[in-house]
A and B are shown apart, each in its own frame.
Chain A
Amino acid sequence: MLALLLASLGIITVDGSIPRVGRENPTWVPTFLQATLNQTRRLLLGLASPVYAVAEAPYQIAGFVHDVTADRADLLEQRDRLSERLLLLEQRQQRFDYLQQENTRLRQLLGSGAQLPSQVTIAEIVGVSPNPQRDELLLDKGSDDGVAPGQAVLDAQGVFGQVVEVAASTSWVLLITDRNHAMPVRNSRTGVRMIVAGTGLLDTLILEDLPASTDIQEGDLIETSGLGGRFPIGYPVGTVATLGSVQDSPYLSASLKPKAALSKVGHVLIVAEAAVDAAPTQPTATPAEGQSSPSTSAGES
């Protein structure tokens, strides 16, 4: 009994000291020990996946039954609605293509780094963390599908979170609203850089250490800044919901309403490669093929 408790305490201490995001190795943890723990965690997550699959089965069955028994008139109406939306999006896509080429030419003229193409994987949410204090979701895609820790997760509206743990066919995603999550962002109106952090509430984010002199208004759109290299640049994170001054403090208090539908379940996008290339490219006459803006990356999926 004592041996088991001591062994547990040692494992908890070592495993807990390894940051979940990126799993960087602390200096005092031997590399082989970290590799062993990571492998063990991958194995356990793989073993646990069937339990989540069974737990999700009632929702899958309900969805299937709903699809099968859906009224024909409803389906036709939905088809018409989607056709109209497709037409609208195709028109927007043409505009984006033009803007993308123009953006590429301008970046080349400036000698600025080119944006790397994003590889997008569509994944389905198959579970949520049973601990209400942690905002984490389980996706049905894992390392077999090219998912790796640190990759950004988006939905149709905005930034969702990032992958923190990966098994062969599943992966855990830390939502941007988790208390342990923070990310660099910028104000789309002014370009001012900030840090947005989670609060533990699915409908609230906060802007940290915002000087009182910052040019910011309620309703401003906050988007990813691309700094840190984890989240691709330009994706919406949220809109400023409340602004206030703190008495005897040089900082503002500001909260955001996330753009992503964090409380809903469905499909999300995992962005595999979206960092900005650090090395400036030489200006060329023709725009590089395959370069994509965030909007087109999501659209390509």
Chain B
Amino acid sequence: MRPSGLITTLVIVGSLVLAVARPPAFVPDWLLAWRPQWLILALVLWVQQLPYFRGPLFRAVFTRSASDDSTTFRRSMLAVWLAGFFADGLLGEPLGLNGALFAMIAFYLHRFRDRLAMQTLMQRMIMIFMLVFYTEVLRAFVLNWLLGQPWVLQPLTVALTSTLVWPLYDRLNRRSPASVRAQ
């Protein structure tokens, strides 16, 4: 069974909501540093399903579908970069930060997409761990540089929980046409 675009869209919207959702009062403060990086997980899901699922943002920016893979890739990168700006507004972070991070993730996933599609779940979980960890280290570096945010273990904790959550996304992603084609 292949996932419909609606399901993927709902998963992405759900990830946005989870990314900013206020935890219940009984959740201790220290646990907040373990919140998974829902936005990056949603981004990985989206990019891995390109070009079969382009998403509402892609269609909103580019009204007509691309004519070839190269054009689709360039347009997708631009859509991902713009999605990063939306994330900046969502998280209240410096403009351009998430655009750069999202574009780097999308470039990596696109570059190795066929190889990634053939990996086992464990290998993909390791890939997610490294991806989220490096992304969060870069984010922490920029926030330390611009806002004086202290260095903490958050990149590690966020990467760990994101890795543990990934199988839920992976289950959806493995049913996608992109994955079927690679196999």
Which residues of A pack against B, CB within 8 Å? 1, 4-5, 7-12, 15-17, 37, 40-41, 43-45, 47-48, 51-52, 54-56, 59, 127-134, 136, 165, 172, 179-180, 200, 202, 265
Task: Enumerate the 10 nearest inter-chain pairs by beta-carbon distance, A residue then B residue, closest first.
Answer: A44-B89, A11-B96, A8-B100, A16-B146, A132-B32, A8-B96, A48-B90, A55-B21, A15-B95, A12-B96
Q: How far does the alpha carbon of A172 sit from the alpha carbon of B33 in the complex, in Å?
A: 21
- Size of interface on B: residues with Cβ below 8 Å to A: 42
Contacting pair B85 A129 (CB below 8 A): no
Which residues on B sit within 8 Å (CB–CB) of A131?
91, 93, 143, 149
Q: How far does the alpha carbon of A171 sit from the alpha carbon of B160 in the complex, in Å?
A: 32
Q: How far does the alpha carbon of A130 sit from the alpha carbon of B145 in the complex, in Å?
A: 19
Tally of A-B Cβ pairs under 8 angstroms = 113
- Most chain B C-beta atoms within 10 Å of own C-beta, residue among A7, A52, A55, A133: A133
Residue of B nearest to A179 (CB): B148
Main secondary structure of the interface of A (DSSP, over half): helix
From A52, A55, A134, B149 is in contact (CB under 8 Å) with: A134
Which residues on B sit within 8 Å (CB–CB) of A43?
89
Contacting pair A41 B21 (CB below 8 A): no
Residue of A nearest to B152 (CB): A133
From B16, B22, B81, B93, A59 is in contact (CB under 8 Å) with: B22
Contacting pair A179 B20 (CB below 8 A): no
Q: How far does the alpha carbon of A1 sit from the alpha carbon of B85 in the complex, in Å?
A: 16
Contacting pair B107 A1 (CB below 8 A): yes
Contacting pair B149 A133 (CB below 8 A): yes
A8-B99, A15-B96, A45-B89 are known contacts. Are A1 and B77 too (CB-CB below 8 A)?
A: yes
